[in-house]
Amino acid sequence: MRCGDLKESYLEDEKIFQTAFVKFWLVLLFVVLISLPVFASPYVMYVANIIGFAVIGAVGLNLLTGNTGQISLGHAAFIGVGGYATAILITRVGVPFWIALFLGGAIAAAVGLVVAIPSVRVKGLYLCIATLAAQFILEWVFVHWETMTRGIRGINVPPPRLGSLVFDTERSFYYITLVMVVLAVGFARNLLRTKWGRAFVAIRDRDLAAEIMGINLFRHKLAAFALSSFYAGIAGGLWVSFMKVVTPEHFPFSRSIEYLAMIIVGGLGSVLGSIFGAIFMTLVPELLNVLSGFARHFVPGLEQLFIPMKEVIFGALIVFFLVFEPHGLAEIWHRIKNSFTLWPFSY
Amino acid sequence: MDIIPQIVISGLAAGGVYGLIALGFVLIYKATSVLNLATGEFMTLGAFVCLTVMTQSSAPFYVAFLTTMAFAALLGIIIERTILRPLIGEPIISVIMVTIGLGSILRGLTHIIWSPEYRSFPPIFPPQPLNLGFAVVPSGLSWGFLFAMVFTAIFATIFRYTRTGLAMRATASNQQTALSMGISVKSVFALSWSFAAITAAVGGVIIGNISGISLHLGNIGLKVLSVIILGGLDSIVGAILGGFVIGLLENFAGVYLDPLLGGGTKEVVPFVILVIIIMIRPYGIFGKETIERV
């Protein structure tokens, strides 16, 4: 029986896959994920794609907010920048999707830097406020820069192709999403083991101490912000290619709050938490949707309450987790797992 | 041109209301160093409560107004007691995110209780516009301005000259010292939240009177962030003057930039100003210059 892990060096402690046991379950998970399109319905595949985009966005935001301790209230706007940049590059410039996706991420990161440079210089809440301003300014730009974004009419985006393969269904696009999610999660998980990742955490825990230890705060905060905007841009690029259209109303302030809710519910500062949070917060509205569709037969007019109900539940989840379980679902998961591994001798 | 005095007047009137709402931000920030991002929702809720009391029980305006204030004060205290107090000592980012969650809850509840369609207040103020000679001020604007000024003056006076205000200032300056002097820091926190809720609700009622009530009323709450950044996060004078500056700039932008940039500039100009202020003078015009470059 497995009861605990003996580790004899830091190298062992930092391993991503701690035991053969973990590797086994991960392989099983991948087999399930890869074979999912074979037996799942298009609706399930649609939700799976949406969850994938949310995971990428949430992992990015968690690197900034959970690990570096800087709040961004404009994550949705940067997702929008990535989405629009990708769409414009594909339709106007004719760049293939695969390059446009990464260029879109880079453009989102560049726009993020313009916002962040002044506010990251000074301590305090300024980044939070500046990103809030960026959210509203960028939303305005999406609507009013008609020569570029075509305003509220939006831009139609062709599906990605690779040779003769066209990724235009939920099933085929799922594989692009899956690859990108694996890359995004793998990069974040590895980054946190490097010098940079540890510097981020040091800045969050005590900025003065971090600076004394030789961490250049400005550069690291900026890097964290650029990275999170890059993730947002990638999520946006995938989103618009999947939806085949991009319009300004996809990136409202409430979406930024949704992303914050994801990482708070999932667990601040934990990659696993971002994944849990993204899955959870995407499934809750879908479930609510199904439930309200079901309850419509008994209580007419209930479906109009869907949007406000969603807001109330999201807000309540944020408040509840911050007050009662600040480490989120990831911590609950660890507790359950530990009580199983040590069972029946857990204390 | 007569258009300029007209813009100045409406800008100043809007600015007065912004100043009042900004005062709520500053009071909470000074006492608890928390930014209350749910201010906009407090405003919407206040406006809806006042409207409901007036239309449902056909009570006169002053009764509805006092009820709204009592309701707001109670709401502020309850929120402080149940949600904010368990978070004392937690990192400041958790507290700010809690106010975001709170805003989301209140917005959803307002939406559920009062459906989202646009309504207008029953006429409260005498309808004849105020004629200043060089410009004509619509009655809603002039009365709104008067109300905002009176309330700003009341709260500034409480903060400056009463024992309660002294306790609040002491807490703002150093919580531990204040505690050792026998000031109940907890009740100061509760008081700041209820003051802020009242200023927001009064601001909501005034704005509702001027431009009607809808769920989007609360968007102004976030716009006011630019006022407090301009004036300085911890300065009451800054909040009031910042309100006027933002009100004026926004109205000028609305008239002169809208044709050039295709509309909606009034909503976005405050945020542009905010970013510029953070670039050149993050502590604002009157804020304390304790900028740590870390």
Could you give the CA distance from residue B246 to residue B25 in angstroms, rounded to a whole number? 16
What one-letter code names the amino acid at B265?
A: T
Q: For B274, which of A129, A261, A322 is closest by C-beta distance?
A: A129
Q: What is the mean pLDDT of chain B?
A: 83
pLDDT at A55: 94
Beta strands at B136-137 and B130-131: parallel, antiparallel or unpaired: antiparallel
Q: For A260, which of B97, B282, B293 is closest by C-beta distance?
A: B97
- Burial level of A328, CB count in 10 A (0-12/13-18/19+)? buried
- A254 CB neighbours in chain B (<8 A) are 104
Q: How far is CA A180 from CA A15, A35, A222, in A?
A: 22, 17, 24
The position carrying tokens 């940039």 is B261
DSSP codes joined into one string, A89-103: IIIII---HHHHHHH
Between B89 and B244, the higher pLDDT residue: B244
Mean pLDDT of B34-62: 86
Supply the DSSP symbol for A119.
H
pLDDT at B10: 81
> Could you tell me which of B20, B8, B57 has the C-alpha nearest to residue B204?
B20
> Could you tell me which of A160, A159, A100, A143 has the C-alpha nearest to residue A247?
A143
Q: How close B227 gets to chain A, by Cα (Å)?
A: 12
**pLDDT tens readout for residues B203-219:** 888 888 877 788 778 78
Q: What is the mean pLDDT of chain A?
A: 86
Check CB contact under 8 Å for B100 and A73: yes
Q: How confident is residue A104, by pLDDT bands cut at 50, 70 and 90? A: very high
Tokens in use for A108? Answer: 């989102």
Q: Do the beta carbons of residue A70 and residue A229 sit within 8 Å?
A: no
Mean pLDDT of A226-236: 94
- B107 CB neighbours in chain A (<8 A) are 308, 311, 315
pLDDT at A300: 65
Could you give the CA distance from residue B228 to residue B279 in angstroms, rounded to a whole number? 15
pLDDT at B238: 86
Tokens in use for B124? Answer: 């409260």
Q: Do the beta carbons of residue B96 and residue B103 sit within 8 Å?
A: no
Contacts of A83 (CB under 8 A, 6+ apart): A104, A233, A236, A237, A239, A240, A246, A250, A251
Q: Do the beta carbons of residue B271 and residue A100 sit within 8 Å?
A: no
ipTM: 0.85
Query: pTM of the predicted model, to two decimals?
Result: 0.88
Phi/psi-derived region of residue B212, left when phi > 0, alpha when psi is between -120 and 50, beta in every other case: left
**pLDDT tens readout for residues B90-117:** 777 788 889 989 999 998 898 888 877 7
Between B129 and A57, the higher pLDDT residue: A57
Q: For B278, which of A71, A130, A253 is closest by C-beta distance?
A: A130
**Paired residues of A246 in beta bridges:** A155
Q: Is the pLDDT of residue B267 over 60?
A: yes
Return the exposure string of A141-156: e unless at least 16 CB atoms fall within 10 Å of the residue's CB, then b.
Answer: bbbbeeeebbbeebbe
**pLDDT tens readout for residues A286-299:** 888 788 777 777 76
Q: For B87, which of A207, A312, A323 is closest by C-beta distance?
A: A323
Check CB contact under 8 Å for B112 and A115: no
Q: Is B288 helix (H, G, I), strand (E, B) or coil?
A: coil
pLDDT at A4: 64
pLDDT at A249: 85
Mean pLDDT of A260-280: 90
The position carrying tokens 């825990």 is A205
Mean pLDDT of B122-135: 69
- For chain A, strand residue ranges (E) read 155-156, 161-162, 165-166, 245-246
Neighbour count for residue B74 (Cβ, 10 Å): 12
Q: Do the beta carbons of residue B107 and residue B218 sit within 8 Å?
A: yes
Q: Is the pLDDT of residue A317 over 80?
A: yes
pLDDT at B290: 62
- B100 CB neighbours in chain A (<8 A) are 73, 257, 260, 315, 318
Q: Do the beta carbons of residue A329 and residue A277 sit within 8 Å?
A: yes
Phi/psi-derived region of residue A273, left when phi > 0, alpha when psi is between -120 and 50, beta in every other case: alpha
Between A298 and B237, the higher pLDDT residue: B237
Could you give the CA distance from residue B142 to residue A40 in angstroms, rounded to a whole number? 63
